[in-house]
A = this chain, B = another copy of it.
Amino acid sequence: MSTLHLDLSKIISDQSRIITKKIEDCYVSDILGRLKGTADAVVFPINTQEVSDIMKYAHTYSIPVTPRGAGTNLVGSTVPQHGGIVLDFSRMNRILELDPETLTVTVEPGTLLSDLQQYVEQRGLFYPPDPGEKASTIGGNISTNAGGMRAVKYGVTRDYVRGLEAILPDGTVIQAGGKNVKDSSGLSLKNLLIGSEGTLAVLTRCILRLIPKPTVSFSVLIPFNSLQTGIDTVIQLIHQDANPTAIEFVERKVAALGENFLNIQLPYQNAEAFILMTFDGNNEEAVRSNIERVKIAAMKNGALDFLLLTDPQMTENVWKVRGALVKAVEAVSEQEPIDIVVPINRTADFIAYVNQLERESGVRMVSFGHAGDGNVHLCIIRGDRDDSAWQKDLSRVMTKIYTKSHQLGGLPSGEHGIGISKKPYFRMTTNPENLALMRRIKLAFDEKNIMNPGKTYSD
């Protein structure tokens, strides 16, 4: 038995919750599995005390610690680059308290998004953030400030975190925020932890804000004869004060991948692009009146049609296709997922640029995503390139794409985070003074650089 195993078993009583031999790849990678790290141990803590004790131990011996939820991230955030301990939160997945009076739910960070959503919706409540990956954990969602489709109306994960319990790299337990709605009491440690990708501290408890569950929800499919017309129209649709929940766009050629993958056919096969919207609320008439205004604006701006989806099967099919796009792309070829965000009025410029770059570079790219908030999902397709050609082409087009989005006032990540994969492009497009400041802030938390080292803003 290794010394590390022996030491950890003094903290974690149950031996089955410590792995130091034959560590499976899944624990040292992300969901894409391309980046692989190494670890000396994987530990499955079950409470705050254990996490704190492990951090104290790691701090004493300067051992790197990589926290992971479900490992569904796309940028290598959970890849241990310097060995050490992987802290797996899958056993800390309890929903601890639903407090209907303050409309909050308190969960452990390993709670799956899908479990949380189901739990609160069964009780007439609603957790609005809705990243595509429902098998992700709440701790992971908070660490990347995950977004998702409903962000247009409801905002992102940050907007639903009321309080956090976190363990500092030296094992200190802190509480940030709580069940209060307002807070002007000192620096917002909570907001600093949100989106920090496990580089500052480890989360052990999360207090989340809920809202009453909307009683009605409608989906709308709007076909266009060009993507440009569709995207240009989005700005007009946003200005109808119709409070849409989601505004997604899909190009015809991308939708076709999803249709083939699922063996489903969407209407308007001749359309070049679709805008897909949802509207929800608690007053059907008001929601319908909002939809009516959007319909008028859409038809005035070149929509081929405006399909209010009343057939549940059709609605399900449409969202199935939207939800399956990444998998449909991956069934054809390896791909590099990108989640650049630009100001919403630059979305059309950005996509036009990507299309032009696709023609010029010969590298196939498909784009779809959150038209309502400028968060464009782009898959860069490997095709049959060998490793060296793929790395060369990928790096070439990524450099151009990130440069362009930066010129448009955009940011390298709207919801996935930076991790390892996006680091070169984050550095390329971020002021060195901002990076230096982030590193100094990290030192304020983690002077030994043991918390998920090597990620995002690190040197």
Q: How far is A288 from B430 in the complex, measured between Cα atoms in Å?
A: 48
The one of B168, B184, B410, B440 that contacts A413, using a Cβ cutoff of 8 Å = B184
**Is there an interface contact between B417 and A184, defined as CB atoms closer than 8 Å?**
yes
Q: Which of A115-123, A143-151, A319-327 forms contacts with chain B?
A: A143-151
Complex contact B343–A437 (CB within 8 A): no
B195 touching A188, Cβ below 8 Å: yes
Q: Are B180 and A438 in contact (CB under 8 A)?
A: no
Contact at A182–B235, with CB atoms within 8 Å? Answer: no
CB-based contact B181/A373 at 8 Å: yes
Determine chain A's interface SS by DSSP, over half rule.
loop
Structural contact, B344 and A102, CB atoms closer than 8 A = yes
Q: Of the candidates B194, B239, B289, B443, which one forms a contact with A444 in the assembled complex, judged by CB atoms under 8 Å apart?
A: B443
Query: By the criterion CB–CB under 8 Å, are A185 and B411 in contact?
Result: yes
Contacts of A418 in B (CB 8 A): 184-186
A272-295 interface code vs B (CB 8 A; 1 in, 0 out): 000000000111011001100000
Q: Does A382 contact B (CB under 8 A)?
A: no
Q: State which size class the interface on A falls in.
A: 35 or more
Task: Give CA–CA (A178, B410) in the complex, Å.
Answer: 8
CA distance A173 to B370 in the complex (A): 32
In this assembly, does A416 line the interface, its C-beta being within 8 Å of a C-beta of chain B? yes
Chain A 143-192 residues near chain B, CB threshold 8 A: 144-147, 151, 155-156, 158-159, 168, 172-176, 178-189, 191-192
Are A343 and B178 closer than 8 Å at their CB atoms?
Answer: yes
CB < 8 Å: which of B286, B342, B416 contacts A283?
A: B286
Q: Is there an interface contact between B185 and A413, defined as CB atoms closer than 8 Å?
A: yes
